Amino acid sequence: MKVLSLKYICPMKKINLACLIEDDPIHVFLTQKYIDMIGRIENLMICHNGKEAFDKLSAIITAGKLLPELILLDLNMPIWNGWQFLDEFTKIPIKQQIVIYILTSSNNPEDLKKAEEYNLHTNYLIKPITLDNLKKALDTAINDAGSTE
């Protein structure tokens, strides 16, 4: 008797597009590898600072295309840090739901408190990211955002 794998019967939902905003090439590499291992993200946009991310996402909005369903945001970056990105990005009226995770090396209580202002205190992951923590974040993002099968 042949048994079919459950992944063929009930395909796992995936995120079509995610955005990683991170300036550290080691963390970019590690996060990309974990994302590939998990296999739940179809496309990954990488931005190296908050300003670059804001400009790219603004262009997507202007073009009328779909934004990322998930943003993984570092806080400490050159040009625009994560807070500057959030300050500006949250001013844009967006109809699409986007799940944002702060992915940072900062365990500063002030940063944690500021994350509460954006309702991101439960979406705050301390680096180095682990495969398990990233998988849990993706599962939550897939359940919270409009995802595709």
Question: Could you tell me if residue 124 is inside a domain?
Answer: yes
Residue 83, pLDDT score = 93
**pLDDT over 70 at 5, yes or no:** no
d(CA 90, CA 111): 17
Other beta carbons less than 10 A from residue 38's beta carbon: 16
Tens of pLDDT along 29-87? 999 999 999 888 899 999 999 999 999 999 999 888 889 988 999 999 999 999 999 99
Residue 149, pLDDT score = 42
pTM for the whole thing?
0.84
Average pLDDT, the chain: 84
Q: What is the CATH number of the domain that holds 53?
A: 3.40.50.2300
Counting beta carbons within 10 angstroms of the beta carbon of residue 54, is it exposed (0 to 12), middle (13 to 18) or buried (19 or more)? buried
**What's the structural domain count of the chain?**
1
Exposed e or buried b for every residue in 133-149, given b needs 16+ CB within 10 A? bbeebbeebbeebebee
Question: Could you tell me if residue 53 is inside a domain?
Answer: yes
Other beta carbons less than 10 A from residue 80's beta carbon: 21
The more confidently predicted of residues 47 and 93 is: 47
Question: Could you tell me if residue 104 is inside a domain?
Answer: yes
| CA angle centred on 132, ends 128 and 133, rounded to 5° | 55
Report residue 12's pLDDT band, with 50, 70 and 90 as the boundaries.
low
Phi/psi for 46 (5° steps) reads -115, 130
Question: Could you tell me if residue 100 is inside a domain?
Answer: yes
Question: Could you tell me if residue 38 is inside a domain?
Answer: yes
Question: Could you tell me if residue 7 is inside a domain?
Answer: no
d(CA 99, CA 92): 15
Percent of the chain whose predicted confidence (pLDDT) is above 90: 38
Residue 97, pLDDT score = 84
Question: Could you tell me if residue 4 is inside a domain?
Answer: no
User: Which of 22, 28, 30 shows the shortest CA–CA distance to 79?
Assistant: 22
The domain of 64 spans 16-144
Question: Could you tell me if residue 119 is inside a domain?
Answer: yes
